Amino acid sequence: MLTPQEANDYAIVKKAIRRCKPNISVFRIEKTFGKENYTYFVNNSLVVRFFKNPFIEKEVVNQQKALEFLKPRLPFHIPTFEISYGDFQNAPLTMTLSPRITGTCIGISDFRTLSLSRKKYIFDQLSDFMHALHGIPKNEWQNLSIRPQKWHITKRVNKLPFVNSLINRVFSYFPNENCLTHNDLHPGNFNVNSSFQITGVFDFDTLAYGNRTTECSLFPAYSYRDCCMLKNSYEQKSSDTLQKFKSALLLRALFALAYIGPQKDYFPFPQIITHTGKDILNQHIFSHVRE
């Protein structure tokens, strides 16, 4: 039995899909929430997203072009989408439709319970993905509309001005390598099959260009130990080592503090957990950042 809100959502989604996909019969809808969109899984085969910001059309078009560019260049399935307009809460908003990736999404809470061997297996695959992404030459992607890495991070913590200033300072330690970075490869943004093989990667809203060192550390869903495992896996597949990784982990801790709040097991420095004032952050973060 649907609640009144669920029934209303169901009717809205059916109406929107009927407008752009008249041959599809809707018999099942699952709803999830994102920071910037409402996502619906339709018939377990179609992903429909309505964006909360009515002025996001240009960004969505740019992302569509980027995904079409990336799809043939990366391992794992990268879902591209169609753009249409749907009637959502009595307003015509930008709507995207894409096929649902096979497999299941582990999710952050379930990922934390996995054995170290399974985590390592997943991180080895993510390392392959990152190497492929980071290795795409700039002359191939430079005409795409892609923002700098720091822009995405600053956007997420823009409610904390003192954190912005710290991010600017931490980023000064990392030269811009001009390589593409995903910046959000947490367990909610890829699917796996029953053998924990990654079947697809999605949610490229934070696609940017920047430094690959920080790419290995910007996942607030991962613990400090998880980040170190991912970094080690990445390095094993590299001809060189990641420099200033300790500083990158500090950036991750700072980012996670603003993004998900202090969580005891997910920070390398206990002082950050109990004190979040500007002076304390300055003292304890930058005492560990070294050239």
pLDDT for residue 69: 97
pLDDT band per the 50, 70, 90 thresholds, residue 10: confident
Residue 89 CB contacts under 8 Å (≥ 6 apart), including other chains: 12
Amino acid found at 222: Y
pLDDT per position as a tens digit, 167-222: 676 677 667 778 999 988 888 899 999 999 999 999 898 899 988 877 776 666 67
User: Is the per-residue pLDDT at 165 higher than 70?
Assistant: no
What's the average model confidence in pLDDT over 152-159?
68
SS (H, E, C) 234-252: HHHCCCCCCCCHHHHHHHH
Regarding predicted confidence, which is higher, 243 or 75? 75
**Phi and psi at residue 51, to the nearest 5°:** -95, 135
pTM of the model: 0.81
Phi, psi of 5 (to 5 degrees): -65, -45
Which residues neighbour 158 within 8 Å (Cβ) at sequence distance 6 or greater? 164
Element (DSSP H or E) covering residue 4: helix 4-20
Q: CA–CA separation, 41 vs 34, rounded Å?
A: 13
Confidence of residue 155 (pLDDT cuts 50, 70, 90): confident
Indicate whether 122 pLDDT > 90: yes
pLDDT digits (tens, 9 = 90+) for 32-57: 766 678 888 888 889 988 887 777 88
Largest CA distance in the chain: 61
Three-state secondary structure string covering 81-112: CEEEEEEECCEEEEEEEEECCCCEECCHHHHC
Rounded to whole angstroms, the Cα distance separating 163 from 228 reads 23
- 257 pLDDT tier (thresholds 50, 70, 90): low
Residue 286 confidence (pLDDT) above 60: no
Place of tokens 């001009």: 178
Q: How many whole angstroms separate alpha carbon 257 and alpha carbon 251?
A: 10
Does residue 284 register a pLDDT over 50? Answer: no
Residue 144 or 226, more confident: 144
What's the rounded mean pLDDT across residues 225-245? 78
What is the pLDDT at residue 290?
Answer: 39
CA distance 228 to 225: 5
What would the mean pLDDT of 124-135 be, rounded to a whole number?
94
